[in-house]
A and B are shown apart, each in its own frame.
Chain A
Amino acid sequence: MSEALEQELNEKNRDLKDLVKREYKEGFVTDVESDTFEPGLNEDVVRRISAKKNEPEFMLEYRLKAFRRWQKMKEPDWAHIDYPKIDFQKIAYYSAPKEMPKLDSLDQVDPKILETYEKLGIPLYEQKLLANVAVDAVFDSVSVRTTFRETLSEAGVIFMPISEAVHEHPELIKKYLSSVVPVQDNYYTALNSAVFSDGSFVYIPPGVRCPMELSTYFRINEMNTGQFERTLIIADEGAYVSYLEGCTAPQRDENQLHAAVVELVAHKDAEIKYSTVQNWYPGDENGKGGIFNFVTKRGVCKGDNSKISWTQVETGSAITWKYPSVVLQGDNSVGEFYSVALTHNKQQADTGTKMIHMGKNTSSTIISKGISAGHGQNTYRGLVKILKGADNARNFSQCDSLLMGDRCGAHTFPYMEVQNPSANLEHEATTSKISEDQLFYLKQRGLSEEAAVSMIVNGFCKEVFRELPMEFAVEAQKLLDISLEGAVG
């Protein structure tokens, strides 16, 4: 980490110390007229979603096939999480702000929505944008704004809502949608495939280094609505892209479902860096409300020398069930997974990764940092699989857990399946507590207890934070501090 960043992080630290015990600041509701389906799911609802999007026939067929598969499937129950049964008929599967704007004119976006993003720190006016970050803003089921589209298209980069890509680039959608995560992969992927309404689509042509960070900001606003977004990113030969997603939701007493699917394809010599700062509403301190986050993310290193890197900072959601994975198909391909997952109060997270080595000389790195506070339950679940043909595969895994208090839990389930004797696997795991000695040491240097805890926790996460783009590293640290308010003392 650079000195400047370190200093900045440090300054942030001190500002936070002054924060009084705060509430989830993204918890507000935007009062906007919306077109929301009645709760419930059947074939007709699937057809209506497709019709809303004016989709070509192939998409409707895709959805219906997925829906029929889903009806025959069962919810997975193997994760170390405990939650009331979800009634899928009580969820509304489509909600969009009325007066849908044309995407090229900001004037037509409901000012209340613009204000919402402004409040969230995601301004959608280009003159106010974060330098060098293009944003796709998804509000409930639809994309309301994608910035910098022209600048990007000059470089040949396609960055648009997936609902538009279906119309404008059907050949790419047909070729790649569900090519990494099959529809029937699991219960939630089938559901998502049937009802997804928007998300981001990215295509980087051969040899192009995407000139800016791409980012999608997901916002759930409407009550009793599920968000089912779909993201598809393709980096063609020799291309590079760095993509970030952020997410928040209003504070409500009811649980809400978020079931997304993200697919990444890296061709020969291509690299995709995918970062997530997840801050869905976590529920209150008694575990009331909060988002159920059931997400499937997978990337395939299709070509030789390709690389996919996942970085995630998970501080929100009542339940997190998420395993961003990499299939290392090309020779010499590289997969990385850097994760910080924090559970406080009654939050539960079961998260980790799968690294599937198929090509020769493939390597993967897993760095997982779990922080548990309050009654939080934090589980790392990971699989490293070395297939027969994967000569000289290497993996390094490190799973560290930090416990705060004596009512929380940390669990580690590392699975390894090795079918090739030339594989080289290393696994390290530690569990630690913030020690009284560390706290006293820092307090003796003049730091308050909160500042001391924040410093120790951020030090613990440093290996992951340094993988994030700078602005987001600062954001992530801030989020962590806020999420830990009241965890000590």
Chain B
Amino acid sequence: MLKVTNLHVSVFGTSILKGVDLEVNAGEVHAIMGPNGSGKSTLSNVIAGRDGYEITEGSIEYMGKDLSELEAEERACEGIFLAFQYPVEIPGVSNMAMLKAAINSMRKHRGEKEMTAGDFLKLIRERADLVEMKHEFLKRSVNEGFSGGEKKRNEILQMAMLEPKLALLDETDSGLDIDALKIVSQGVNALRSPDRAMVLVTHYQRLLDYIIPDHVHVLAGGRIVKSGDKSLALELEEKGYSWLEGGTNAAASLEQVAN
């Protein structure tokens, strides 16, 4: 489904990704781990098509298409979903209104008719229950006045509503207490399906106690330095990222990024 080949990405002239290779198939869950500043968020942002992320070398292929040809909204309509690390607030626009517009925009892209108001209501109530979100949140402005945990739960609700083919979850566990982490994980697990691929970007292993990945990759210094199964995550937890630092010097690249 997703094929990243020798990907080099610069953000405002600073080179962040330096040759990433990654292949994700339908039905798989991949975890991308790594120290802060290793390029994890850059990877998810560049796949989602954020402005300012320049591919200087290599390619991203999705469902056989070169992604660089598509605008961010086209990628979304083609089934790529990004759960944001820092979901933004949109004052005056209700969660419901935004989701309804999103769903219908995607349906239109696929040449389908708009969803009826009744079907939409039914669906959103059902999916809100999945992430244990009170229905009153649906009428509130997008993320406005939400706590950190509520914002993340709202991201999972949106994912559940939009039913993507490829879901990128960017540090979805950050800022969550253990209860919220469980709820979010339940939501994610419920959405696992043979047609859907997920890429979890995370700093900590603990998310992977709840969402068991098929593959784990360690991103450091702009490259994937190690890949394995879920046991790799445990090993990392035990030994820390410095264990991998030897050849890649992640700490040094980290400083470069910061500067």
Q: How far is the CB of A3 from chain B (nearest CB, A)?
A: 7
* Interface status of A436 (Cβ within 8 A of chain B): yes
B102 within 8 A of A: yes
**Interface membership of B94, Cβ < 8 A:** yes
- Chain B residues lying within 8 Å of A440, measured Cβ to Cβ, are 50-51, 72
Do A455 and B93 touch (CB < 8 A)? Answer: yes
One of A256-264, A305-313, A460-468 at the interface: A460-468
CB <8 Å contact, A438 and B73: no
Name the interface residues of B70-128: CB closer than 8 Å to any CB of A: 71-73, 75-77, 81-82, 84, 86-88, 90-94, 96-106, 108-109, 114, 117
Query: Within 8 Å of chain A (Cβ to Cβ): is B185?
Result: no
The answer to whether A459 has its CB under 8 Å from any CB of chain B is: yes
Name which of B50, B92, B102 has the most chain A CB atoms within 10 A of its CB.
B92
Which single residue of chain A is at the shortest CB-CB distance from B144? A459
CB-defined contacts of B97 to chain A, threshold 8 Å: 6-7, 9-10, 455
**Is B162 located at the chain interface by the 8 A CB criterion?**
yes
B-facing residues in A1-15 (Cβ within 8 Å): 3-4, 6-7, 9-11, 13-14
Quote the shortest CB–CB distance from B83 to chain A (angstroms).
10
Are A7 and B100 interface neighbours, CB within 8 A?
yes
Chain B residues in 8 Å Cβ range of A463 = 92
List chain B residues, Cβ under 8 A from A76.
none
- Please tell me if B48 contacts chain A, counting CB pairs below 8 Å: yes
Min distance, Cβ A477 to any Cβ of chain B, angstroms? 12
> For the complex, is A456 an interface residue (Cβ under 8 Å from B)?
yes
Produce 1/0 per residue, A314-325, CB < 8 A to B: 000000000000
Instruction: Check B76–A455 contact: CB distance below 8 A.
Output: no
User: Complex Cα distance A448/B50, Å?
Assistant: 14
Cross-interface CB contact of A443 among B71, B81, B87, B96, cutoff 8 Å: B71
Q: Closest chain A residue to B75 by CB distance?
A: A444
Taken together as a complex, chains A and B put the C-alpha atoms of A178 and B103 apart, in Å, by 54
Asked if B141 lies at the interface with its beta carbon under 8 angstroms from chain A, I say yes
CB-defined contacts of A387 to chain B, threshold 8 Å = none
- Cβ contact of B90, chosen from A6, A13, A449, A455, cutoff 8 A: A455
**Closest partner residue, chain A, to B87 (CB atom):** A441
Given contacts A446-B105, A447-B102, contact A462 B73 (CB under 8 A): no
Q: Is the CB of B90 within 8 A of A7?
A: no
Q: How far is the CA of A456 from the CA of B92 in the complex (A)?
A: 8
Rounded to whole Å, the gap between the CB of B124 and the closest CB of chain A is 11
As a 0/1 sequence over residues 3 to 34 of chain A, the CB contacts with chain B under 8 angstroms (1 = contact) are 11011011101100000000000000000000
Q: Is the CB of B76 within 8 A of A443?
A: yes
Residues of A within 8 A of B87 (CB): 441
Q: How many angstroms from the CA of A456 to the CA of B108 in the assembled complex?
A: 21
Q: Which residues of A contact B105 (CB under 8 A)?
A: 14, 445-448, 451
Question: When chains A and B are docked, how far (Å) is the Cα of A14 from the Cα of B82?
Answer: 22
Instruction: Give complex CA distance A435, B96 in Å.
Output: 21
User: Closest Cβ of chain A: how far from B171's Cβ, in Å?
Assistant: 15
The reply to whether the CB of B41 lies closer than 8 angstroms to some CB of chain A is no
Which of B91, B102, B141 contacts A446, CB < 8 Å? B102
How many residues of B are in contact with the other chain, CB < 8 A? 40
> Complex: how many Å from CA A437 to CA B143?
13
- Give Cα A441–Cα B117 distance, bound, in whole angstroms: 24
**Separation of A435 and B50 alpha carbons in the complex (Å):** 13
> Does A444 lie within 8 Å of B51, measured CB to CB?
no
Q: Whole-angstrom distance between the alpha carbons of A95 and B174 in the complex?
A: 69
Min CB–CB distance B89 → chain A (angstroms): 8
Q: Is the CB of A7 within 8 A of B92?
A: no
Cβ B92 vs Cβ A435 within 8 A: no
Q: For B158, what are the chain A residues with a Cβ–Cβ distance below 8 Å? A: 445
Asked if A444 meets B141 with Cβ closer than 8 Å, knowing A10-B97, A10-B101, A14-B104, the reply is no
A to B contact number (C-beta, < 8 Å): 95
Q: Which residues of B contact A10 (CB under 8 A)?
A: 97, 100-101
- Nearest-CB distance from A108 to chain B (Å)? 45
Residue in A438, A445, A459 whose Cβ sees the most chain B Cβ within 10 Å = A445
Knowing A447-B101, A449-B73 touch, does A456 contact B84 (C-beta < 8 A)? no
B94/A442 in contact, CB under 8 A: no
Taking CB as reference atom, which chain B residue is nearest A455? B93
Taking a contact as CB atoms under 8 Å apart, the answer to whether B84 and A459 are in contact is no
Select B98's contact among A14, A445, A448, A449, beta carbons within 8 Å.
A445
A362 within 8 A of B: no
Is A458 located at the chain interface by the 8 A CB criterion? yes
Q: Are A459 and B141 in contact (CB under 8 A)?
A: yes
B206 part of interface (Cβ distance < 8 Å):
no
Cα A11 to Cα B84 in complex, Å, equals 26
- Nearest-CB distance from A118 to chain B (Å)? 29
Q: Which of B51, B92, B108, B162 contacts A445 (CB 8 A)?
A: B162
Q: Which residues of A contact B50 (CB under 8 A)?
A: 440
Q: Do B104 and A459 touch across chains, with their CB atoms under 8 A apart?
A: no
Q: Which residues on B sit within 8 Å (CB–CB) of A9?
A: 97
CA of A12 to CA of B81, assembled, Å: 25
Q: How far is the CA of A392 from the CA of B52 in the complex (A)?
A: 54
Given contacts A446-B105, A446-B162, A447-B101, whether A459 and B72 have CB atoms under 8 Å apart is: no
Indicate whether A456 sits within 8 Å of B76 (C-beta atoms), given known contacts A9-B97, A444-B48, A451-B101. no
**Closest beta carbon of chain B to A428's beta carbon, Å:** 13
A47→B73 CA distance, assembly (Å): 63
- Chain B residues with CB under 8 Å of chain A are 48-51, 71-73, 75-77, 81-82, 84, 86-88, 90-94, 96-106, 108-109, 114, 117, 139, 141, 158, 162
Which 8 A/B pairs are nearest by Cβ-Cβ distance? A459-B92, A459-B93, A462-B92, A445-B102, A446-B76, A443-B72, A446-B105, A443-B73
> What are some 17 contacts across the A-B interface (CB < 8 A)?
A4-B117, A6-B94, A6-B97, A7-B117, A9-B97, A10-B101, A14-B101, A435-B88, A436-B51, A437-B86, A443-B73, A444-B48, A444-B49, A444-B84, A446-B102, A455-B97, A455-B98
Chain A residues engaging chain B, CB cutoff 8 angstroms: 3-4, 6-7, 9-11, 13-14, 435-438, 440-449, 451, 455-456, 458-463
**9 further A-B pairs in the complex, CB-CB below 8 A; given A444-B73, A446-B73:** A3-B96, A6-B96, A14-B108, A438-B88, A440-B72, A441-B88, A444-B76, A446-B76, A447-B101
